[in-house]
Amino acid sequence: ATPPNSSNHEVRIPTIFGRRYEIFWRDSLNGGFWSPFASTNAGVWWETSPVPTNRAFVDDEGANTTGGTPVTGQRFYKVRVSR
């Protein structure tokens, strides 16, 4: 979750080589649709590092990410990992 009145939110994800990572967000944990980032350049990646690492992504609430401030004052994120 992100604190109220913030506009840049950094989330770090531990990654493994060869896996695809896709970030989703929503403004409530009590329901609603998990939305992908508006741009796949900002919210989808394949890990190419041969050693486990951490990948950081930033939600700047802009047009390429979540498109605006959280309606509820908080924002929640999840990551889908696939091969």
pLDDT in tens, 4-14: 555 788 989 99
Residue 59 CA, chain-centre distance (Å), reads 7
Is the pLDDT at 3 greater than 90? The verdict is no
Sign of the Cα torsion 45, 48, 50, 51 reads: negative
* Residue from 42, 44, 55, 59 nearest 7 by CA: 59
Task: Compute φ and ψ for 41, nearest 5 degrees.
Answer: -65, -30
Phi-psi region of 32 (alpha: psi -120 to 50; beta: other; left: phi over 0): left
What pTM was computed for the model?
Answer: 0.83
Tell me what pLDDT residue 15 has.
94
